[in-house]
Structure 1
Amino acid sequence: MKISINRLKQYIELVESPEEIGALLTRSGLEVEGIDDFVSVPGGLDGVVIGEVLSCEKHPDADKLSLTTVDTGSAIVQIVCGAPNVAKGQKVVVATVGAKLYPSEGEPFEIKKAKIRGQVSEGMICAEDEIGLGSSHAGIMVLTVDLPNGTPASEYFEVETDAILEIGLTPNRADAASHLGVARDLQALLGKKITLPEESPLAVEQPGPAISVEVQDVADCPRYAGVVLTDLKVAPSPQWLQNFLRSLDLEPINNVVDITNFILHDLGQPLHAFDADKIFEGKIIVGKLPKGTPFVTLDGKERKLSGEELMINDSKGGMCIAGVFGGNHSGVSDETTSIFLESAYFSPDVIRKGSQVHGLKTDASFRFERGTDPNMPVYALKKAVALLQEIAGAKVSSEIIDLYPVPVQDFEIQVSYGHINRLIGKVIDPTEVKTILESLEIKVINETPEGFTAIAKPYRVDVTRESDIIEEVLRIHGFHQVELSENLRTDFLAEHPVKDQNKLQYRVTEMLAGQGYFELITNSLTKPVYAEKSGYLDSALNVEIYNKLSEDLGVMRQTLLFSGLEVLAHNINRRQTDLKCFEFGTIYQKAEEGYKEGRRLAIFHSGNRSSESWIEKEKPFGFSDIYATVERILERLNIEPSQVSILESAPFAYALVLKLGEKVLGSIGLVDEKILKLAEVRQEVWFAELDWDLLFKKTSSLKKYAEISKFPEVRRDLSLVIDKAVTYDQVKAVAQKAGGKLVQKIGVFDVYQGEKIEAGKKAYALSFHLQDQENTLTDREIEKTMSKLIRAFQDQVGAIIRS
């Protein structure tokens, strides 16, 4: 959910920076996942000024070009211009040298000093499409202004800038799905009052078409309000409204639709406009239609109704799936002159059914199915009417219809101070408790030394129990202000299942066996010579056996490597050369006091991963094979290493070390020839050893799989030139942070190091798979995500983007 800082300032005084506001909201439970800058004109017209053409002559070497001198305020420059309408004395828009322009179509480009047909040109006189202000390229923009030369074009065109908060809204916080809702939280966090404009009384200006409303099921539609407006003119919205919608990644449509979207995102109340002339017999019926009834939605698709969804109908049939999606027949068009504007409160359950049955997720259904404010419909309706009067010239043609037979009651909750202090873990002063709750518009009545009664308004669908009230106190008081005691303890209601190491080991064993691995079970006793001659084990840490059966079984093993290599040697000597094996086992070492042991998972590859056949030649195992196996294990256990680094020491010829924080998770690599010789193995061996104790400790749950999304995945590729010292893991970490939840998968499909790029550099060709789980991605969303990635690569790893 996107929230505009500029719009928040209409409700509450904010002097804090967007970053400070984001930190406050995140601390209180509205997690701000990112902050984006919005500029109403791409690039903000930086380096573009108002100038005056002082002279204009024909270019000596080109018939269609003019040679001009232009006063840009700071200098008089010569500019070659190809526009047919350029003339002396004009006030024009000039892009100075160094300005970066973002045209309406095509890629951004930078203005440079150049020679055009032998004449120096120091800038560009701009057409509207060249600076992203329109689509016309018929000629340069000629302005009628008295502004001094050099005035920034951003001032003349009133370029608007804003900061947009991206809030990861949790399902319980339906009340915060609007600018007003977020402002209410800031009211409590900052101790400032929000300003909510008072309702304007509506008077009928001229009688219009009579519309009657019948609600057949009050449980599904507890409140239904509406009003008739006439003489309106459907047209593009004013710039301020278009800017607001675009800042939230919404595309403006027309003034009527844009106003309903504005109210939805501003107040959290969805509205719907019907063409009043298309409501058959002037009657609206809120109810259900028989199963199998065909209904054509606004997107032109015919859908068969399930009989469970609530419908807005006229005397002929369906006009709208209530709270979800409008119908094709009754929607507002360019020819519409009168509308019936609907504002309702629907049961979350019935809206959820309608949305799920047809796979339709809209901004309206998102709010209705979580619970909107039953006291908001009429206020929002009046606010929308005032905007339609101002922007579309609408006239009020009926009284407001407001069917609300059984008002939704406030939540009344008994609260004990003792429970507040016990669950929060510290004593909160009763005065602070009351201040916090009242700043959240939760009334406190019937106060006693032991507790009080809290009255929460029905828009707070997440505040119905004592524990909810306590949560509200805690999140505004601040989790960070609850000190940790010397003896940590907690109260909880949920059950926490105990992890079973044997079950987890079985799951991994099952997975490896399914991939063709054989399990090893080897002796924990091994040869002392391995530690003495391997060069990486400390023989002083050997756990020796006092009553040895033989010297070959004289100590406990410190690693699973050598016992596994002995098995490989046994098989290779019997011409079983293609081997994939694994072992869960315990290793042992002396400690400062006594002994220590730990569980390890070892994986071995040796020989060929595919045998020679008429289809293909034999393929030996490589690093990528064993690394892929380790990746699959970690993915299954829902663990991602925090750090991957190169290791070039025994027992490996080369390897990678995986870490979780500061702890070594494991290592993967090619076993050194000296180690193989020590174990009498005569072919290459790839080996991985993972700390199973650490894996078990860090595994919270096994990887869960979800249904494949029905929304299409989009692939975009980038080629980066970076320093050789920059690892792929660094690049991947930057991409995951910058790309956010839309980046589902990142891959490398080419790596180049050679003469065609600078020494000390390498080129990565990366693929990015983008997907939204709830909507089809738009070109704008895709390009915005890719722009974020490009900026992050340039800023954080010094990448050069290859075209």
Structure 2
Amino acid sequence: MKISLNWLKQYISLPESPEQISALLTRSGLEVEHLEKIESVPGGMEGIVIGEVLTCARHPDADKLSITTVDIGNNTIVPIVCGASNVAAGQKVIVATVGATLYPTGSEPFKIKKAKIRGEVSEGMICAEDEIGVGTSHAGIIVADTDLPNGTPASIYFNLEPDYIFEIGLTPNRADAASHIGVIRDLKALLNRPYQLPPVENFRIATAGKPFDVRVEEPAGCPRYSGLTISGIMVKESPEWLKKRLQSIGLSPINNVVDVTNFVLHELGQPLHAFDAAHITGNQVLVKTLPQDTPFVTLDKQTRKLQSFDLMICNAEEGMCIAGVFGGITSGVTSETKAIFLESACFSPAYIRRTSQYHGLKTDASFRFERGTDPNNTVYALKRAALLIQEVAGGEITSDIVDIYPQPVGEREIPMLYKHIDRLIGKSIERPAIQTILANLDIQIQNEDETGFTAIVPAYRVDVLREADVIEEILRIYGYDNIELPPYQYSSFLAEFPVTDKNKLQAKISSLLADNGFYEIITNSLTKQAYTQKFNAVASGQDIEILNKLSEDLGVLRQTLLFSGMEVLAYNLNRRQKELKLFEFGTIYYKQEGKYIEKQRLALVLAGDKQAESWLEKTKPVDFHVLASAVQKILHRMNVKKFDSSETKHPVFSYGLTFTLNGKELVNFGLVQSNASKFMEIKSPVWYADFDWEYLLKQYNASLAAEEIAKFPEVRRDLSLVIDKNVSFKQIRQLATAQERRLLKSVNVFDVYEGENIGKDKKSYSVSFILQDEQATLTDQIIDRTMQKLIGTFEKELNAVIRK
């Protein structure tokens, strides 16, 4: 939401700097995400001043040039060579001084420098309209009709005050602040300063009557509907002040009538709509729904099929407007319009939200109606808009105000206790200060005594519903920064917290991965259903489909983190990022036996090079061992040291491993199928690991197991085994461990060889064995006997050949 500082100043005194106002609003909950300075003329006419031509004579060497002397203020008189035919002594002119940058209309900017023109010194430039960007005329210099002293900045003469735009990240609960007056209400409370609403006392009805029969047939969708008729208008371009107001907040002017409705929307937060009275057939304005799939052409010339829940503004024959969302193409205001019916209504947020989401229509009006507008503001906004339309388009008000409001919405009464205010704020605020804050927020105080009071909350504060909400209002205006921290912090708990802190564990693993060169990503939970249909990496028929999907690309909730991770890989690889090691903590969603299920997962996605190329080491592609190392580091950090390993059966992998604990999968990891990589337009291999994060958290053991350091040395012996290719290292380790449980501490492969020298379908493993006796020093006889037992087992069980 964009708010103009100059616009705010029309209603409240704001001598504070834009930065100070920005900080005030942010501290009170209206977070200013961006502050931008805008100027109606580029450069703000810096270095351009009012001057007076003292003398003017013809240039001796050029018939079309004049030599002038110009007083530019501060007792400074400069010579200027001028080519305009209308320059003369005694004129007040616009002078660009040396060093000023000009932004000509339709041309590139240039800087004024001291120069010699045909041998005569020129220290500045007397300007025409187009040369300083205030017009298009180049017929002659600007002759200023002013009494301003010489040297006065030209921006003052042209009334070019710069504006500042606050871009506010409005939270959904603050519907009341979705306008300039809404922001002013907060500034009033923050600064304890009054503001002035635009007056409507001059509102007059020229001809009393009720030319249109207005009926609300769907009262649940329209609690209040107000309107009036204005006749004899002239639709044309808006005046400059109105166009500038709208342009300052990023809106494009359309015509004077539509611009007024947009102006009042952003001024008061009340959406309005103007109907061409000539297109209201049967003299009827009906608020109702139409049958399912009724076609309706909106202002963007698209034909939409209406739903049975879409609230419509209709005439006697057809729909004219999707209520609170978007107008129809036939009933809008055009240059031919001579009379309008002006609508100011309050629509149900539930109706508008459902319609807006279904049709994918997000407008300034629906933005406000979805959050809740003030039902008690419709008539005031109607009068304000009618007066402005009369000002810019002429015409007369030719009907009484129609106001259908069967069940008025009153103020809310909320009982308040001072002890609760003190407890929740953490500080006892002086009672007069509380009363002032609430009064400035339009919250009245009644039935006050020493224990508390009754807060009377206006209807426009749709988010203030209970005692805690009122206390929050007091606190945000009083200032969170003004609550001192006590010298000692303490907490009391109703129940004992679990030992495992999931957030700390996640932060610990995030730090581990970041330390090892991984980057964290956060991707959208919505994804393409094509991934489910194309690959069997996820379960078909278990997708949770979005009912009001905006597009097929965001049509279902993801069942895996793989494809969103691969989208990030593809994006970065296409931008020549070659070292990609990514991780994400995220939620997956699926249906199972009619139930909706969410699971927390941790995913690792790798592609490209292992590290950046340098003089010290050539780059290598990421391989399985890089991924496996990261997986084992995570398990080690989580104190999960014993688990079973097997080849993965998951269809997404060409090959890989599955680590299980107590029969349940901890992690699947390996090389992603090439068809998936090709579908995502990734040329390099993709490595992926998928952790069951919830199960892994349950296995975490914070206690450290301490063991006494062995007093006796360990011994290493190596064997080179020629074995069949289908024999895995897991089989070797299991056989060795089963044969020698007491002395064998670890088994490791440190070299693998395949080639013709050892025969077809054979491979050679160089395996190390660490032996240690915790009770005594190992002797050669014991070591040799142990190794012979292992050799015999390998030869018998694996048909291994021991290379000497």
Normalized against structure 1, the TM-score is what? 0.60
1:499 aligned residue = 502
Give the gaps of 5 or more residues in structure 2.
Answer: 519-575, 588-609, 618-625, 639-804
Q: Is the 8 A contact 2:78 2:123 kept in 1?
A: no
Q: Is the 8 A contact 2:81 2:117 kept in 1?
A: no
SS in 1 for 2:131: helix
SS in 1 for 2:502: coil
2:17 aligned residue = 17
The answer to whether 1:183 aligns with 2:216 is: no
The answer to whether 1:31 aligns with 2:34 is: no
Shift in Å, 1:224: 0.9
2:323 aligned residue = 322
Q: Which amino acid aligns with 1:154?
A: S
- In structure 2, relative to structure 1, the CA distance for the partners of 1:208 and 1:437 (3 Å cut) is closer
Separation (CA, whole Å) in 2 of partners of 1:244 and 1:108: 26
Q: Is the 8 A contact 1:284 1:315 kept in 2?
A: yes
2:205 aligned residue = 204
Which deviations, in whole Å up to 9, do the C-alpha atoms of 1:294-322 show, x marking residues without a partner? 22222333323233221212123122221
Shift in Å, 1:150: 4.8
1:234 aligned residue = 235
Separation (CA, whole Å) in 2 of partners of 1:690 and 1:67: 85
Q: Which amino acid aligns with 1:26?
A: T
The answer to whether 1:479 aligns with 2:507 is: no
Q: Which amino acid aligns with 1:237?
A: S
Question: Which of 51, 62, 80 is residue 78 of structure 1 equivalent to?
Answer: 80
1:157 aligned residue = 158
Which deviations, in whole Å up to 9, do the C-alpha atoms of 1:34-74 show, x marking residues without a partner? 3322333322222223456654758957x9x6445363534
Q: Which amino acid aligns with 1:487?
A: Q
1:260 aligned residue = 261
SS in 2 for 1:376: helix
1:456 aligned residue = 457
Shift in Å, 1:106: 4.3
2:251 aligned residue = 250
Q: Is the 8 A contact 1:274 1:331 kept in 2?
A: yes
Shift in Å, 1:372: 1.0
2:41 aligned residue = 41
Shift in Å, 1:176: 1.0
Shift in Å, 1:393: 2.2
Separation (CA, whole Å) in 1 of partners of 2:312 and 2:97: 58
Which deviations, in whole Å up to 9, do the C-alpha atoms of 1:443-485 show, x marking residues without a partner? 2223344433222111101101222112112212221222223
SS in 2 for 1:356: helix
Q: Which amino acid aligns with 1:499?
A: K
- In structure 2, relative to structure 1, the CA distance for the partners of 1:258 and 1:508 (3 Å cut) is same
1:269 aligned residue = 270
- In structure 2, relative to structure 1, the CA distance for the partners of 1:60 and 1:309 (3 Å cut) is farther
Q: Is the 8 A contact 2:59 2:66 kept in 1?
A: yes
Separation (CA, whole Å) in 2 of partners of 1:184 and 1:492: 40
Q: Is the 8 A contact 2:206 2:397 kept in 1?
A: yes
Q: Which amino acid aligns with 1:75?
A: I
- In structure 2, relative to structure 1, the CA distance for the partners of 1:144 and 1:162 (3 Å cut) is same
- In structure 2, relative to structure 1, the CA distance for the partners of 1:15 and 1:501 (3 Å cut) is closer
Bigger mean CA offset, 417-426 vs 142-151: 142-151
Q: Which amino acid aligns with 2:384?
A: K
- In structure 2, relative to structure 1, the CA distance for the partners of 1:17 and 1:215 (3 Å cut) is same
Q: Which aligned runs of 4 or more in structure 1 are off by greater than 6 angstroms?
A: 83-90, 490-493, 500-513, 667-674, 687-693
Q: Is the 8 A contact 1:203 1:399 kept in 2?
A: no
- In structure 2, relative to structure 1, the CA distance for the partners of 1:315 and 1:491 (3 Å cut) is farther
Q: Is the 8 A contact 1:80 1:116 kept in 2?
A: no
Q: Is the 8 A contact 1:423 1:491 kept in 2?
A: no
SS in 2 for 1:352: helix
Normalized against structure 2, the TM-score is what? 0.59
Q: Which amino acid aligns with 1:48?
A: I
* Equivalent residue runs for 1:103-502 within 5 Å: 103-114=104-115, 121-137=122-138, 140-141=141-142, 143=144, 150-197=151-198, 199-200=200-201, 202-206=203-207, 210-485=211-486, 486-489=488-491, 498-499=501-502
Separation (CA, whole Å) in 2 of partners of 1:211 and 1:511: 68
- In structure 2, relative to structure 1, the CA distance for the partners of 1:125 and 1:267 (3 Å cut) is same
Shift in Å, 1:152: 3.4
Shift in Å, 1:407: 0.7
Separation (CA, whole Å) in 2 of partners of 1:636 and 1:329: 51
Q: Is the 8 A contact 2:105 2:131 kept in 1?
A: yes
Separation (CA, whole Å) in 2 of partners of 1:637 and 1:122: 66
SS in 2 for 1:225: strand
1:647 aligned residue = none
Separation (CA, whole Å) in 2 of partners of 1:155 and 1:416: 54
Shift in Å, 1:147: 5.7
Separation (CA, whole Å) in 2 of partners of 1:21 and 1:505: 40
- In structure 2, relative to structure 1, the CA distance for the partners of 1:315 and 1:443 (3 Å cut) is same
Q: Is the 8 A contact 2:208 2:400 kept in 1?
A: no
* Equivalent residue runs for 1:700-779 within 5 Å: none
- In structure 2, relative to structure 1, the CA distance for the partners of 1:151 and 1:478 (3 Å cut) is closer
Separation (CA, whole Å) in 2 of partners of 1:48 and 1:510: 58
Separation (CA, whole Å) in 2 of partners of 1:409 and 1:216: 23
Q: Is the 8 A contact 1:199 1:382 kept in 2?
A: yes
Q: Is the 8 A contact 1:208 1:229 kept in 2?
A: no
- In structure 2, relative to structure 1, the CA distance for the partners of 1:691 and 1:195 (3 Å cut) is farther
Separation (CA, whole Å) in 2 of partners of 1:412 and 1:320: 36
Separation (CA, whole Å) in 1 of partners of 2:631 and 2:101: 53
* Larger Rg over CA atoms: 2
- In structure 2, relative to structure 1, the CA distance for the partners of 1:208 and 1:337 (3 Å cut) is farther
* Equivalent residue runs for 1:574-589 within 5 Å: none
2:547 aligned residue = none
- In structure 2, relative to structure 1, the CA distance for the partners of 1:146 and 1:671 (3 Å cut) is closer
Which deviations, in whole Å up to 9, do the C-alpha atoms of 1:662-713 show, x marking residues without a partner? xxxxx98889979xxxxxxxxx9xx9999989x99xxxxxxxxxxxxxxxxx
Shift in Å, 1:383: 1.4
1:100 aligned residue = 101
Q: Is the 8 A contact 1:208 1:228 kept in 2?
A: no
Shift in Å, 1:261: 2.0
Shift in Å, 1:346: 0.8
SS in 2 for 1:423: helix
1:534 aligned residue = none
Q: Is the 8 A contact 1:35 1:163 kept in 2?
A: yes
Q: Which amino acid aligns with 1:469?
A: V
Q: What root-mean-square deviation, in Å, do the aligned CA atoms of Structure 1 and Structure 2 show?
A: 4.2
1:7 aligned residue = 7
Separation (CA, whole Å) in 2 of partners of 1:400 and 1:227: 5
Which deviations, in whole Å up to 9, do the C-alpha atoms of 1:150-171 show, x marking residues without a partner? 5533233221233332222111
- In structure 2, relative to structure 1, the CA distance for the partners of 1:137 and 1:220 (3 Å cut) is farther
Q: Is the 8 A contact 2:198 2:384 kept in 1?
A: no
Q: How many residues align?
A: 540
Sequence identity percentage: 54
1:576 aligned residue = none
SS in 2 for 1:37: strand
Separation (CA, whole Å) in 1 of partners of 2:61 and 2:288: 76
Separation (CA, whole Å) in 2 of partners of 1:3 and 1:189: 17
Separation (CA, whole Å) in 2 of partners of 1:122 and 1:433: 62
- In structure 2, relative to structure 1, the CA distance for the partners of 1:85 and 1:280 (3 Å cut) is farther
Separation (CA, whole Å) in 1 of partners of 2:252 and 2:168: 20
- In structure 2, relative to structure 1, the CA distance for the partners of 1:201 and 1:57 (3 Å cut) is closer
Q: Which amino acid aligns with 2:502?
A: K
Q: Is the 8 A contact 1:229 1:394 kept in 2?
A: yes
- In structure 2, relative to structure 1, the CA distance for the partners of 1:673 and 1:361 (3 Å cut) is closer
